[in-house]
Amino acid sequence: MQTILGGEFEAGLASLANRLATHPNKHADPQSEPLISLARLNFQIPDRQDLPPLDRYASLRLPDGTSRIAGYTESSRGCKHLCRHCPIVPVYNGAFRIVAKEIVLEDIRRQIKAGAQHITFGDPDFFNGVGHAIPLIESLRKEFPHLTYDATIKIEHLRKHENQIAKLRDTNCLFITSAVESIDDAVLENLAKNHTRKDFEHVLRAFRAQNLPLQPTFVPFSPWTTLDSYNDLLDFLAANDLIENVAPIQLAIRLLIPAGSRLFDLPDIQNLAGPFDEKALAHPWQHPDPSVDKLCEAVQQIVHTGEKLNRTRHQIFARIQEAARRAAGLDQLTKSEALPLLAARATIPYVTEPWYC
């Protein structure tokens, strides 16, 4: 027997626990709980007492080499946007739910008592409810002046609420993660991201002006990637001094096509995607140009080895760039153009388990 609980899962989970505890033939039962629930639940303060201690989870690394114990909470769930590639969309389909401010604050208070020095807001998009997020971070700053935090916010919202970037910084936000996905406007259009390369560049400048790090995430390998466009992305990151801002795994991500994905709106995807693979939890696809898939595998290997050997982001990036230029038949960079392989350690804070959007 298996049970799948998507979306607002708690009522389904309680029902399952009840069913398993009381039903005599529980293993033969078909699932009676909805696969996906968007019920409006009465959120409770999460009881985290039986979980492993916070120092056993991912932590925050600071530029000076020190670490901080990180906690995690959500001030909202779901997302009001419909980006085509996003696995949240087939579940929430544009719905999102706010978690009451007092519940979020109490959850954070308890995690601070348990040792948290930094909080990651795991909301799919922290500014889906910007009118909820701002008073929340203001209260947090007032009650815990030394607590730092990070959150994920889409480029469209950062552009629209540009005047709040200073507020994020002044309330001890250490960095914002943003799913940029691509610097190619045609790909952004396919993904229905509702931002352009120019918007990303604008937001990047706004963050630099406020001295707050932006950590972009990407889907660099999609059916629309070419060897040249991948090299363009690497050149863009190097030219814009973004190598330290991008977790190396972000340069190896391959487009995921989950069940019910809106990517199937696109004829390219209808023609390319295979039947749903239950083990991989996705529709498999192969790039029309096998050399792009080969490069993706090579980049994944470089990232894997680099992280195992504790190489810096600059060192991993240089190796990826070398492989990408070789694959595209481009000349290798000369010594003066190439990035220093012994670059200093990261100059921006990051969480030790990178965020895959």
86 vs 227, beta carbon nearer ligand SF4: 86
207 vs 317, beta carbon nearer ligand SF4: 207
* Nearest Cα to Cα of residue 327 among 225, 178, 198, 175: 225
154 vs 287, beta carbon nearer ligand SF4: 154
Least Å distance, CB 58 to ligand SF4, is: 20
124 vs 213, beta carbon nearer ligand SF4: 124
Least Å distance, CB 153 to ligand SF4, is: 9
DSSP strand E in the chain: where?
6-7, 36-37, 59-61, 67-73, 76-78, 96-98, 118-121, 148-152, 173-181, 214-218, 350-351
Least Å distance, CB 255 to ligand SF4, is: 12
Q: Which helix (H) or strand (E) holds 229?
A: helix 227-239
Least Å distance, CB 82 to ligand SF4, is: 6
The sign of the torsion formed by the CA atoms of 81, 82, 88, 92 equals positive
123 vs 244, beta carbon nearer ligand SF4: 123
Least Å distance, CB 304 to ligand SF4, is: 25
Least Å distance, CB 246 to ligand SF4, is: 17
CB neighbour list of residue 286: distance below 8 Å, 6 or more residues apart: 272, 293
80 vs 345, beta carbon nearer ligand SF4: 80
Q: Which residue is listed with tokens 């190439």? A: 338
Left if phi > 0, otherwise alpha if psi is -120 to 50, otherwise beta: which for 73?
A: beta
83 vs 320, beta carbon nearer ligand SF4: 83
179 vs 320, beta carbon nearer ligand SF4: 179
| Pairwise CA distance, residues 301 & 285, whole Å | 19
| Pairwise CA distance, residues 247 & 357, whole Å | 12
Residue 126 bridge partners (DSSP): none
Which residue type occupies 343? A
Residue 19 bridge partners (DSSP): none
| Pairwise CA distance, residues 12 & 136, whole Å | 29
Strand, helix or coil for residue 74: coil
Least Å distance, CB 104 to ligand SF4, is: 18
Q: Per the structure block, which two tokens stand in for 183?
A: 């610097």
Least Å distance, CB 128 to ligand SF4, is: 7
125 vs 184, beta carbon nearer ligand SF4: 125
Least Å distance, CB 162 to ligand SF4, is: 17
Exposure of 94 by Cβ count < 10 A (0-12 exposed, 13-18 middle, 19+ buried)?
exposed
Binding site for ligand SF4 (CB under 6 A): 79, 81, 83, 86, 88-89, 124-125, 154, 179, 357
Q: Which residue is listed with tokens 């400048």? A: 205
| Pairwise CA distance, residues 150 & 64, whole Å | 18
